[in-house]
């Protein structure tokens, strides 16, 4: 004899919505991965992500209907599919929306430095980007006023060692660091798109025996805005440095 649970009809929009949510997530992941391996360019990847988001929204609406039409104790099954689908898709949609807003609202720059008057230059990293001068500096000051040199109460040699350690901990590609010039360069390859972004760090002794650490982070290619990626890289590096300093 069939149980009461198996007698209940399945609310099909819940299952359809859940299935399309999985498809939307896989499609959104395929966009940057395909760009990284050369199947399409960055604009193609963005278009794929855009349509994946549209599909995810439609699927979320189907799952949302399941919360009301197949709630526990109702005459239909499918509540679990709807709930699980929404739990999966909502973070993805929020992330895509925040990324889109960052691209639209943040300034059209891809070169961030803690020293806008004398930005550190690249000696080894294959980054031909020339700093944009007062125009880029003005954009940065307005959007990222917190990007400032890091002043630490340790001598330059110790600061140099910590910088190298943080770079290695992050798994960045390290070029030929110069202790004599207190000049360090590295490259981070972004996770999804596989973009190569370069950093250069200069360390200067301060009068009180401490050190001033200046950092520049630049996208190697492309134009327009970076969605805050380079500024976040500087922030993240300094946070990791301060954490290592406190150990």
* Model pLDDT for residues 153-201, shown as the tens digit of each residue: 999 999 999 999 999 999 999 999 999 999 999 999 988 888 899 999 9
CA–CA gap between residue 126 and residue 213 (Å, rounded): 22
pLDDT surpasses 90 at 105: no
Residue at token pair 């988001």: 53
Pairing of strands 196-205, 211-219: antiparallel
What six digits make up the tokens of 159? 């600061």
* Model pLDDT for residues 47-91, shown as the tens digit of each residue: 999 999 999 999 999 999 999 999 999 999 999 999 999 999 999
| Percent of residues, the chain, with pLDDT higher than 90 | 82
Q: Which of the four pLDDT bands, split at 50, 70 and 90, describes residue 3?
A: low
Question: Is the separation of the CB atoms in 197 and 219 below 8 Å?
Answer: yes
Q: What pLDDT does 2 receive?
A: 45
* Model pLDDT for residues 38-47, shown as the tens digit of each residue: 899 888 998 9
In 10 A of CB 81, how many CB atoms?
A: 24
pLDDT surpasses 60 at 98: yes
Q: Which of the four pLDDT bands, split at 50, 70 and 90, describes residue 247?
A: confident
Q: What architecture is domain 111-246? A: 2-Layer Sandwich (3.30)
Residues listed for the chain: 247
Q: What are phi and psi of 174, to 5 degrees?
A: -100, 130
* Model pLDDT for residues 107-123, shown as the tens digit of each residue: 999 999 999 999 999 99
CA–CA gap between residue 156 and residue 209 (Å, rounded): 8
CA–CA gap between residue 78 and residue 83 (Å, rounded): 9
Q: What pLDDT does 1 receive?
A: 42
């Amino acid at each position: 004899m069939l149980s009461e649970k198996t007698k209940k009809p399945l609310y099909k929009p819940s299952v359809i919505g859940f299935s399309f949510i999985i498809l939307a997530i896989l499609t959104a992941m395929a966009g940057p991965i395909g760009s990284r391996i050369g199947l399409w360019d960055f604009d193609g990847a963005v278009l794929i992500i855009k349509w994946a988001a549209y599909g995810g929204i439609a699927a979320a609406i189907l799952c949302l209907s399941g919360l009301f039409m197949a709630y526990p104790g109702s005459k239909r099954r499918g509540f679990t599919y709807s709930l699980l689908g929404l739990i999966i898709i909502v973070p993805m949609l929020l992330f895509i929306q925040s990324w889109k807003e960052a691209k639209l609202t943040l300034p059209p720059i891809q070169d961030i430095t803690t020293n806008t008057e004398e930005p550190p230059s690249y000696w080894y990293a294959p980054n031909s980007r020339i700093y944009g001068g007062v125009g880029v500096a003005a954009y940065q000051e307005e959007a990222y006023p917190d990007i400032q040199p890091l002043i630490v109460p340790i001598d330059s040699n110790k600061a140099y060692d910590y910088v190298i350690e943080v770079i290695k901990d992050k798994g960045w590609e390290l070029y030929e660091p110069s202790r004599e010039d207190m000049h360090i360069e590295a490259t981070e390859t972004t996770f999804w798109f596989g973009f190569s972004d370069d950093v250069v760090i200069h360390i200067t002794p301060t009068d009180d025996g401490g050190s001033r650490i200046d950092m520049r982070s630049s996208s190697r290619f492309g134009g327009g805005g970076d969605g805050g990626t380079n500024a976040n890289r500087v922030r993240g590096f300094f946070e990791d440095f301060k954490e290592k300093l406190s150990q």
